[in-house]
Structure 1
């Protein structure tokens, strides 16, 4: 997900586990974050990873959190600025200049809708936090 209003890139447990990352891969990150539902979230740490967007590869600092999200990660203003990109939530696109040409990343409208519905319908449980904590 591209979030133009956020100032940090976030990685959620599914991606963290999918990349086979371990707690020792993280560096300390002490500032709490405020989630979309207004709750304070204490990050597990921070990690710098290469991210490919079209023909460009750039290092991105992700804050790893133990919180539910239908998304695997959120990229935000720092990523957009580094890429030199312009994003449109209406058109589900990100465009940026690469050399002499304009490249475009196109989102999936159907998947975005599914993520929104999942986020709305999600009912947090007390056990999900404990089970994720074991893996993080």
Structure 2
């Protein structure tokens, strides 16, 4: 969980393999934002499967974790993903964070010392199940759709 623009947001993925900080449209709309709040973003974004993602634009918002706040420029994507946002390398570097996928934790310095945020293995499993279920549904739709 992270606080994005004063809202507590669940299902945030910290991904050291992502070159961008990404917000999915369901979170964008849930924050009460509108398309006029977006600025242009012209660089293509490629998914894990190699397909180019259609981008809505970009927006800068404050993200707060354990009392440490940084401005994050999110690329807004209108696509399904079980997480609501991805905090990638730009956020990791801005925070001075050290993520560990093995321990499902991220550590970063704060004025009070080193903060440790623990991930939820249960939530990660739920997101994985949702992604697999969505992919299976998409594959079945392709099989039944006439050409």
State the TM-score bracket (shorter-chain normalisation). 0.7 to 0.9
Determine if the alignment matches structure 1 residue 59 to structure 2 residue 71: yes
3-state SS of the aligned residue for 1:44? strand
Bigger share in strand: 2
Q: Is the 8 A contact 1:30 1:42 kept in 2?
A: no
Determine if the alignment matches structure 1 residue 19 to structure 2 residue 31: yes
| Matched residue, 2:123 | 111
- RMSD value, Cα: 1.3
TM-score, normalised by the number of residues in structure 2: 0.81
Bigger relative contact order (CA 8 A; separation at least 6)? 1
| Matched residue, 1:120 | 132
- 1:70-123 deviation per Cα after TM superposition (whole angstroms, max 9, x unaligned): 000000011011100100112111101113511011111100011011112213
Bigger radius of gyration: 2
Q: More displaced, 34-43 or 106-115?
A: 34-43
3-state SS of the aligned residue for 1:30? coil
TM-score, normalised by the number of residues in structure 1: 0.87
Structure 1 unpaired stretches of 5+: 126-136
| Matched residue, 1:95 | 107
| Matched residue, 1:130 | none
